[in-house]
Chain A
Amino acid sequence: MLQNLKQSFFNILNLNKKSPYFLTFDISSDTFKVYLNEEVNIENEYKLRVRHEFKEYVSSEVSSHGKVHNYEKALQALKKIMSEVETYTKGIKVSEGVLVVSGSNARSIMTTMQITRSSKEEISEAESSEIMQKVFENSYLDLSKIIYDETLEENASLELLDSFPIYLHCDGREVIDLIGENAHDIGVCFSVFFGRSDEIDVHRKLLRQVGISNLHLVSSNQAILKSLKTSKKDKIDAVILDIGSNTTEVIICFGGGVHLNKTLDIGGFDLTLELSEKLKLSYLSAEKIKRFYTFNKLKEKERDVVARILTYNLNHWLKGLVETFEDFKSVKTFPSDFYVVGGSSELPDVHEILFEEPWTKSIPFKEVPVYKKIDFNKLKKLDKAQMSKPNEDLIPVLASLMYLEIRGNL
């Protein structure tokens, strides 16, 4: 009753009218990318349509590695983008946003817990919540130790972004929900996604200042994993390599969740910078050359020069990757399904070096790794008509899809 009254009141004032658009922000590197999205109804099916991509190069002195180094300049760049958005939407203000938490700002861990109860009485809602709370606390503590080992940072500030169960066991039986079950022994396993709150808070403040009042955070780890699963129960085992601008993230997935992720501080930006120095070009021109090279648009002589510089530096990258894999002390054997995503994953040399170099020999893979690619065409809830660079924009698009699903629209 009360709900109906509230609804009518809002209807009269036209207050609950949703803007057709929302924005997805990928602002962790030297280039801010903002995607204008909308839900569209195509043949009675709701889909995500990316209307436009707004891009602003801010340089690594302003933002890199998920950190904002010059707040004022970052704010200026976002204000410029928001003004372009408003021009594009013909004056419609967009206040709903999704922030992609990625690179070293996204941390994921899988936590298991065994609970032995004194009696087999029914599990109440309060007890279930208490177990969940304990799971989060344990995840936080485990991850803090890992972060300390990696960076010597004590009491890392982390923000819980999302979680989902990998399994819930009551006396050895798999159950859907703990509440209402009678069990002596409870076993739970959760995949938990955190974000580095110090950096997220800066991004949050920036976005609030440019008018994003309704912000949702999506972990890139979770968004990628979700796109690989055919169903919620899919117990996928895989290695995901996300080659971003400043970092290469290695995400290890077991049983349908993220076991752990680690980051190598080398990404596409570093390669462009090397090209820029060796070819004596500006950063943006070098980025253009890299793009031409990726799409095989250079002359043979130019291609050879670029290939030589890239291969030399990709060998350093590969050694770093081996180090990162070796740092997963808790993993005995790595899954053999190997997905490569991210802006620089399209570089032909990345595939060549990953496919041809015998680098995996020193890493305990379960079987010879099989390299796979996320098939854009299988994302049925995405209207692909307006997508020009699907692979480059993959992760923000996956985050947008995930957000719409959480919002209950898809």
Chain B
Amino acid sequence: MKEVILEKDFTILKCLNLILNSQEEEVKIKISDGSILLNQKNNLRLLIRYLKSYGKVFKIETESLKGKEFLKSIFNEESEEGFLDEFKEMEESPISSQKLPKTLNPSKLQKFDFEKIKIFFSAKKIFLPLIIFFLIMGISIGSYLYIKSQNKVYLVLTVGSERFVKSFEVKLSSVSNTDLENKIMRVSKINQTSKIEKEAPTTGKAETGKKAEGEIKFSNSTDQDITLDKETELTFKDGNKDLVYLIKDKIVVPKRTLVSTNPETYVSGEASAETKASLFGSSYNISAGKSLSIKGVSSEKLKAVVSSSFDGGVKNTVNAVSLEDMKKLSDNLVTDFKSDTQNLDQPGKVFLRSSQIYNLVSEKFSPGLTEPSDILKLTQEINLSYLLYSESEALAFAKAIVKDLVPEGYELFGENLQVEIGILNLISVAGSPNDEAKAQLTIRSYKIPVINQDEIKENLKNKSVAQAKDYLDKLDLIYNIESNSLINVFGFPESKDKINVSIKNE
């Protein structure tokens, strides 16, 4: 009967899964004090009904008084619901048990008719002594054979052992097959791409708002038309600060015109242009009449004066995405992912540490650099490739490698060697940095003399204890015979199968 211990920090789901996943039909369940199962009666009832529905034979044991009371109460309830015939509550013991009735067969409950038996004996009085004699004989022979069949011997042989530790440099390859001669072991390479997300507050600052707009009048005092391109810069000196404005559209300021020859009088050519501030802010809201300088044109030739005051300029400072925010979030996300992928063992397969190669496939920030936002969100696609080896294949590989290193007459103790593989460096052969790896394979075990168990059993069968000891004394090992007292009556069993030999190393 398999024993399952339900610890106090197990959830109900974990408890159920642990028991149901056990292949054994019979389970002994130990519920620790403080377990969630003892939080309320319903939890324990759920467990019991589950066990029944899966046809498990079970025993429940708990040290908790509350748990015992729950069990008693649940089994009483269940009995009322028709399980009475199959349930036997163990009052004295803390263990309660129950087996699910597959079918209830009423014929099993019929009683013997003692009256009929009585009549039979009186009618056949004459045969009674004979029947009793044969009955006693039969029982005696049967008992003798039964007791003899129970005669089993356990022989423990203790042999001198020597620690066996060997290390080899091997090559682990995901592209070549296992090759003992060249010490190449086949491993699997796993490639997986994960999409991960993370958010973080932004620390950058950005300016938002509106740019001031107004109208500028230009006066041309030359004899040539002057053309100003779109976005020509105009500057107003506000104390020490230069306020720069940009013309919205291309403009041609006509040349001056002669309006009188005597005296010679000219009128400057004039044109107006819609203009806006180059930056956000209310400081750009300047009033009409202010003079501005024009980039690339002398003020003697062309004058610029505000004809319609600038207004609407506003500036706000808000949180925004900075380059540092992006870098930090990206680094953190990769670091988180790396720490989440430090143990990638699979059932029967062992993950090779230091074999991981991370590749950032894509990275998307939302919103983008300098865009105003309190939060920066990052979505990354990371490709992870790593190497795995099969435990059973590694064991077979290790056994084959050390085969020639064990001297004749010796063997390695036990079926399972301890095999450790540690990566020395990664090798690229098919384009990826971790196609192969140079690694150190270490085997740990004990070397013991070869013991021919079959031969020992053959020599011991049917022997008396004294004969057996004589034989064993001649072998160069320590032995211990474990048996019930029947060995003194019957000696060693006739069958080899009833002699169990186990080997212990010193």
Q: A152-B70, A282-B340, A319-B46 are in contact. Are A266 and B13 (CB under 8 A)?
A: yes
Q: Whose C-beta in chain B lies nearest to the C-beta of A61? A: B9
A316, B42: Cβ atoms closer than 8 Å: no
How far in angstroms is the closest Cβ of chain A from B141? 55
How far in angstroms is the closest Cβ of chain A from B65? 9
Give the A-B contact count at a CB cut-off of 8 A: 71
Q: A151-B39, A282-B340 are in contact. Are A266 and B345 (CB under 8 A)?
A: no
B420 CB–A CB distance under 8 Å:
no
- Specify which of B17, B40, B196, B344 is in contact with A265 (CB 8 Å cutoff): B40
How far in angstroms is the closest Cβ of chain A from B384? 13
Q: Whose C-beta in chain B lies nearest to the C-beta of A274? A: B13
How far in angstroms is the closest Cβ of chain B from A389? 13
A270, B343: Cβ atoms closer than 8 Å: no
Q: Which residues of B contact A288 (CB under 8 A)?
A: 196
B154 CB–A CB distance under 8 Å:
no
How far in angstroms is the closest Cβ of chain A from B220? 55
Q: What CA separation (Å) do A324 and B45 show in the bound complex? A: 10
Q: Whose C-beta in chain B lies nearest to the C-beta of A285? A: B340
Q: Which residues of A contact B69 (CB under 8 A)?
A: 152
How far in angstroms is the closest Cβ of chain B from A30? 11
Q: What CA separation (Å) do A297 and B17 show in the bound complex? A: 28
Q: What CA separation (Å) do A392 and B351 show in the bound complex? A: 37
Q: Size of chain B's interface in residues, with CB distance under 8 A? A: 26
How far in angstroms is the closest Cβ of chain A from B452? 45
Q: Which residues of B contact A299 (CB under 8 A)?
A: 195
Q: Whose C-beta in chain B lies nearest to the C-beta of A317? A: B13
| A285-335 CB contacts (< 8 Å) to partner B | 285, 288, 297, 299, 313, 316-317, 319-320, 323-324, 327
Chain B, residues 61-73, CB within 8 Å of chain A (1/0): the string is 0000010011000
A280 CB–B CB distance under 8 Å:
yes
B13, A270: Cβ atoms closer than 8 Å: yes
A265, B41: Cβ atoms closer than 8 Å: no
A152, B66: Cβ atoms closer than 8 Å: yes
A316, B70: Cβ atoms closer than 8 Å: no
Q: What CA separation (Å) do A382 and B245 show in the bound complex? A: 47
How far in angstroms is the closest Cβ of chain B from A69? 10
Q: Which residues of A contact B344 (CB under 8 A)?
A: 280
Q: Which residues of B contact A161 (CB under 8 A)?
A: none
B13, A150: Cβ atoms closer than 8 Å: no
| B314-360 CB contacts (< 8 Å) to partner A | 340, 343-345
A92 CB–B CB distance under 8 Å:
no
A347 CB–B CB distance under 8 Å:
no
Q: Whose C-beta in chain A lies nearest to the C-beta of B11? A: A270
Q: What CA separation (Å) do A316 and B15 show in the bound complex? A: 11
Q: A65-B39, A265-B39, A285-B340 are in contact. Are A274 and B14 (CB under 8 A)?
A: yes
B340, A323: Cβ atoms closer than 8 Å: no
Q: Which residues of A contact B9 (CB under 8 A)?
A: 60-61
Q: What CA separation (Å) do A264 and B41 show in the bound complex? A: 11
| B1-42 CB contacts (< 8 Å) to partner A | 9, 11-14, 16-17, 36, 39-42
Chain B, residues 45-78, CB within 8 Å of chain A (1/0): the string is 1100110000000000000001001100000000
Q: Which residues of A contact B43 (CB under 8 A)?
A: 265
Q: A282-B340, A319-B50 are in contact. Are A264 and B42 (CB under 8 A)?
A: yes
Q: What CA separation (Å) do A65 and B45 show in the bound complex? A: 19
Q: Which residues of B contact A273 (CB under 8 A)?
A: 11, 13-14
How far in angstroms is the closest Cβ of chain A from B368? 21
Q: Which residues of A contact B50 (CB under 8 A)?
A: 316, 319
B195, A320: Cβ atoms closer than 8 Å: no
Q: Which residues of A contact B343 (CB under 8 A)?
A: 280
How far in angstroms is the closest Cβ of chain A from B53? 8
Q: Whose C-beta in chain B lies nearest to the C-beta of A320? A: B46
A152, B12: Cβ atoms closer than 8 Å: no
B11, A150: Cβ atoms closer than 8 Å: no
B13, A271: Cβ atoms closer than 8 Å: yes
A202 CB–B CB distance under 8 Å:
no
Chain A, residues 135-155, CB within 8 Å of chain B (1/0): the string is 000000000000001111000
Q: Which residues of B contact A277 (CB under 8 A)?
A: 14
Q: What CA separation (Å) do A285 and B196 show in the bound complex? A: 10
Q: Which residues of B contact A60 (CB under 8 A)?
A: 9
Q: What CA separation (Å) do A266 and B36 show in the bound complex? A: 10
Q: Which residues of B contact A269 (CB under 8 A)?
A: 11
Q: Whose C-beta in chain A lies nearest to the C-beta of B336? A: A285
Q: Whose C-beta in chain A lies nearest to the C-beta of B50? A: A319
Q: Which of A65, A152, A273, A282 has the most CB of B within 10 A?
A: A152
Chain A, residues 15-44, CB within 8 Å of chain B (1/0): the string is 000000000000000000000000000000
How far in angstroms is the closest Cβ of chain B from A126? 40
B41, A151: Cβ atoms closer than 8 Å: yes
B13, A324: Cβ atoms closer than 8 Å: no
Q: What CA separation (Å) do A269 and B12 show in the bound complex? A: 11
Q: What CA separation (Å) do A290 and B46 show in the bound complex? A: 26
Q: What CA separation (Å) do A297 and B197 show in the bound complex? A: 11
Chain B contacts to A: CB under 8 angstroms = 9, 11-14, 16-17, 36, 39-43, 45-46, 49-50, 66, 69-70, 195-196, 340, 343-345
* Complex A-B, nearest 10 residue pairs according to Cβ-Cβ distance, in ascending order: A270-B11, A270-B13, A150-B40, A151-B40, A323-B46, A285-B340, A320-B46, A316-B16, A313-B13, A266-B12
Given A282-B340, A319-B50, 16 new contacts (CB under 8 A): A61-B9, A149-B41, A151-B39, A152-B41, A152-B69, A265-B36, A265-B40, A269-B11, A271-B13, A274-B14, A277-B14, A299-B195, A316-B13, A319-B49, A323-B45, A324-B42
Supply 11 A–B pairs (Cβ within 8 Å), ascending by A. A150-B42, A151-B41, A265-B39, A270-B14, A274-B11, A274-B13, A280-B344, A281-B340, A288-B196, A297-B195, A320-B46
Chain A contacts to B: CB under 8 angstroms = 60-61, 65, 104, 149-152, 262-266, 269-271, 273-274, 277, 280-282, 285, 288, 297, 299, 313, 316-317, 319-320, 323-324, 327
